[in-house]
Every structure is written in structure tokens, then in C-alpha cells.
Amino acid sequence: MSALSITPGKNNVGAYINNIDLKKLDQNQKKEIKDTLVSFGVVFIKKQNLDPASYQNFAKCIGQPVVYPRLRGLDKKFPFINVIERKPNDKNLSFGSSWLHQDTSYLASDRPRFTMLMGIEIPIGQGNTIFSSGFNAYEKLPSEIKNKIKNATGIFSSAGPIAVTRIEREKEMGIKSSDSMEAEHPIVKIVNGKKTLYVSPGHLMKIKNVDEKDSDYLKKYLIEHVNKQEFIFSYEWSKGDICLWDNLSILHMASEIKNCRRLMHRITIK
């Protein structure tokens, strides 16, 4: 039994880790947090309000933070902390909105595995992050579909449907959009002994290694499946909250934000 106090999230998506101070972790707690993360896919840790040094240090308990080339760092001292800001007069889509996705599924190897966000400035009643569990979605698939996709692979591209938000943001920050990247990955992965769906609708272009006549049908079916409400948890942020997820087993997207400021600090972890 874990010594951590754990409460499952809505629809059994992820888990809250309760009554913990991330600035004062011992080695056992660090290991338990990572084990809980891998087992549940996403963890929610309320009202930590970490300073940049403590936030970056906590990330190093989970893995190796990496510089994310498409977002600016906080400053030279904290290059791993990306600032995700929504301004009141922004009219474009929120970064990463409209499509559930798994970060960097378009990279062939050396993909960062974990993503972490902390709420710095949170608008009331807006800006939830939507999570979908690949574990739960796989478990509820009909046997016939499980059989059809057991050896399936997906082609994932940075030029997939979600690219519109990335291109808008790159323009905003004066970054030249890089060439599109493409990778192929199994649709079914095993994490912590459990099967999970890896379909990243924002990046998925085609499903291979299935009967050709089934390819388009399966793509549409799986995208609709992971979007079902029974697999979704819409997380409502408070200032200082931390959400940390495993991109192998959890899909996520931003919800719409209008006429208000929202500021988040993000770290990508290998």
C-alpha cells in the first residue's frame, strides 16, 4: 500500500495526491509520486504555489526536464519552464485546444514522456484542462475492435489537425514554423502492465497494419471512442495547482478561454 493519500479523479481518470508539500519530499515520497503517476496516468496536486527553483527541482524527481523548442523559457536560469499565457485580447484558439492529443507523438524516438503544468494566474470559471484516459478507453473497447488493432500502428504528424493552434502561437512569438515531423507508433501500448490506447487525435493521420478496408473506419471509431464522456475528466484549476501526466496513457486538451488572462508554467520531462 502506498503511504500517499490518493483520491481517484472523476470517471477514474488519474488521481489526486493529497496533503503533500512538494518542497519537502523524502526519497520514498518521490518514488511513490512517480509510481502513482505511471499507474494512474495523471496526478493532480492542489495549491503548491512553487517558486521556479522548487518547480524545476520537483520535475527532476520525475525525470530529465527538456527544453521545448516551440515555447519560450521563463529565463536563462530556468530554461525548462515554459510560459503559456493567454491574454484577454487574444482571439485565436488556446494552445493545444480543440483536439485531444498526446504531446510530441510525431517524434520517432526520444519522445519526452511526461508533461507538467502549474497554474500561476487562473481565470474564474474558464481554462479547464480536459483529460481522457487511454487505460479506460482501451479496457472498454469491444473484443472485435481490440482484435483488429492488436498489431496496428498509427502515423502521427506535427501537421495533423491540431497544427493550426501551434502555427498561430509560433507566429505570435515570432518563431518560424519548422518542417512537419512524422512518426509511426503502435496504437496499443503497455504501461505498468496495463494496455492503453495511443491515438493522439490531434496528430493521427492514418492507421496501418490493419485490413485496408478498415483503416479509415478504425481511425474514426477510435477518435470518437477516446472523446466519450465516460473517459473524460475536465479539471478545474486553482492557483498553484500542479497537473502531471504520462503522455503514453493520457490524452489532454485545453478548453476554450475568452476575454481573460491565464498564465501557466509548463515543464516537459523525459
- For helices 27-40 and 52-62, the axis angle rounded to 10 degrees is 70
- Provide the phi-psi class of 98: left if phi over 0, else alpha when psi is between -120 and 50, else beta: left
Per-residue confidence at 165, pLDDT binned at 50, 70, 90? low
Is 204 in a helix, a strand, or coil? strand
**For 181-220, what is each residue's pLDDT tens digit?**
899 999 999 999 999 999 999 999 999 999 999 999 999 9
**Sign of the torsion formed by the C-alpha atoms of 252, 195, 147 and 160:** positive
Cell numbers describing residue 153: 500502428
Contact in structure between 255 and 145 (CB atoms under 8 Å):
no
Taking CA atoms, 51 is separated from 54, 58, 78, 218, in Å, by 5, 11, 11, 45
Contact in structure between 102 and 200 (CB atoms under 8 Å):
yes
Q: What does the alpha-carbon distance between residue 114 and residue 122 come to, in Å, rounded to a whole number? A: 22
- pLDDT, averaged across the chain: 90
Would you say residue 128 has pLDDT above 70? yes
**For 241-250, what is each residue's pLDDT tens digit?**
999 999 999 9
Would you say residue 28 has pLDDT above 90? yes
For the ranges 55-64, 118-127, 149-158, the lowest mean pLDDT is seen at 118-127
Would you say residue 117 has pLDDT above 60? yes
Number of CB atoms found within 10 A of residue 93's CB: 17
148: domain CATH number? 3.60.130.10
Taking CA atoms, 63 is separated from 9, 31, 42, 102, 134, in Å, by 24, 11, 15, 18, 22
Give the helix/strand (H/E) hosting 170. helix 163-172
Establish how many alpha carbons lie within 13 A of residue 220's alpha carbon, considering only the half-sphere containing its beta carbon: 5
Rounded to the nearest angstrom, the gap between the alpha carbon of residue 64 and the centroid of all alpha carbons in its chain is 17
Would you say residue 1 has pLDDT above 50? no
Total domains in the chain come to: 1
Would you say residue 45 has pLDDT above 70? yes
Residue 97 confidence (pLDDT): 57
